[in-house]
Amino acid sequence: MALTGWLLIVENGDVSAFSQTSSSHNGIPQTQALVSAPVDFDVQSLSVGELVRQSVTEDAWVYFSVKVPAHANGLNILVSPDEGDVDLYVREGHLPVGDIAHGGRFDASSSVDGSLVERVSLSKANNKTWFIGVHGYHASRFELSTEIN
């Protein structure tokens, strides 16, 4: 799945996608400004239990989605970097954006320093689509896996 288009900051910084601090542009108030370039996102659909090997560059994002079946009680997401440092962000129904240090939109996150395993466990995750964002704090290759309980 690919998401393409211009992203808008809406209502006093209430971000539904990526935000950008800006001054007024062409009469658009500071709290409502267009991101300066079109943005493409590739979102890789995963099956529960699937193991994926991927890489991410520094300060970039790699996105995944997973549909959790109705019979599941919870969802566990693990990211194991081979090297470098990645952070894990998860959001129901939408791409996670922002980060722990600066705020953003996500339902759960893991940001362990260094090349350690990042883990998020969600209860009541059943019958929902979850979007997973892996952010490259430093460039890294990683494995991502999901499991239900």
Average pLDDT over residues 125-130: 95
| Residue 142 placed within a domain | yes
| Residue 9 placed within a domain | no
What are phi and psi for residue 69, nearest 5 degrees? -65, 160
Tens digit of each residue's pLDDT (9 = 90 or more) over 55-73:
999 999 999 999 999 999 9
Question: Per mean pLDDT, which range of 31-35, 63-67, 108-112 is the poorest?
Answer: 31-35
Tell me which residue range forms the domain holding 110. 41-148
Measured at the CA of 64, the angle between CA 61 and CA 66, to 5 degrees, comes to: 155
CATH code, domain with 120: 2.60.120.380
Helix (H), strand (E) counts: the chain: 0, 14
What are phi and psi for residue 8, nearest 5 degrees? -120, 135
Single pTM value for the model: 0.73
Q: Which of 142, 118, 147 is nearest to 57 (CA)?
A: 142
Dihedral sign, Cα of residue 95, residue 60, residue 30, residue 2: negative
- Start-to-end CA distance of the chain, whole Å, equals 27
| Residue 81 placed within a domain | yes
Number of domains in the chain: 1
| Residue 47 placed within a domain | yes
| Residue 76 placed within a domain | yes
CA-CA-CA-CA torsion for 8, 12, 16, 18, nearest 10 degrees? Answer: 60
| Residue 34 placed within a domain | no
Question: Token pair of 53, please?
Answer: 């090997």
